[in-house]
Amino acid sequence: MRSALPPLLLLYAALALSLASAPRRAWRLCLGLLALVAGVAATLPPPWHDGVFVGCWISVAVTAAGGLVCRIDRPLAWGLSVNAGLWSGALAAVTGAPLDLLAALPALALLPAAAWALGHLSFPAVRVMSSWLVAVAVLAVTLACLPVTPGYLPDHLE
């Protein structure tokens, strides 16, 4: 079984980088929406397994692309938070590890640091991190969609 922690960490980091360009007054509501939707989605019956992982990685790419935009208005920030909450909750439901949601929360600590960087004209750093997250997510989706090759088969020790 795959771990939910790596995609969750990158999803929350992508959300933090995207919310850094949103109005500061929207942060509290966005983080509340994330927690509420993730908590509700984690209690639902688990949907299909591979589809949730692919959907979460696509959500990482879309959410990280928000960090490449100069300004994000409140409705878009709310939508990104709800999207991240849905996919993270579904991932926790599929893997049966709801505590991974709490373990991934420190990735949201990027939010004040990224906002500070954007405020002090260091926005290329935020954009480079966002584009890196997009690239990692696209690579993860590509690897998940490729046919199984001998190098990716589970070995006999698992």
pLDDT at 158 (0 to 100): 54
Six-digit token pair at 99? 């505590």
Give pLDDT, residue 27: 95
Q: Cα–Cα distance between 132 and 149 in angstroms, integer?
A: 26
Which string of b and e fits 89-104 if b means at least 16 CB within 10 Å?
bbbbbbbebeebbeeb
CA distances 24 to 2, 21, 37, 116, 119, Å, are 35, 8, 21, 11, 12
Query: Mean pLDDT in runs of 10 for the chain (158 residues)?
Result: 86 96 94 95 80 91 90 93 95 89 93 92 89 94 78 60
pLDDT at 30: 96
What is the pLDDT at residue 153?
62
pLDDT score for 88:
95
Structure confidence at residue 107 (pLDDT)? 94
The confidence score (pLDDT) of residue 151 equals 66
SS3 for 7-71 is: HHHHHHHHHHHHHCCCCHHHHHHHHHHHHHHHHHHHHCCCCCHHHHHHHHHHHHHHHHHHHHCCC
Q: Tell me, what's the pLDDT at 49?
A: 73
Please state the domain extents for the chain. Answer: 10-144
Pairwise CA distance, residues 69 & 46, whole Å = 33
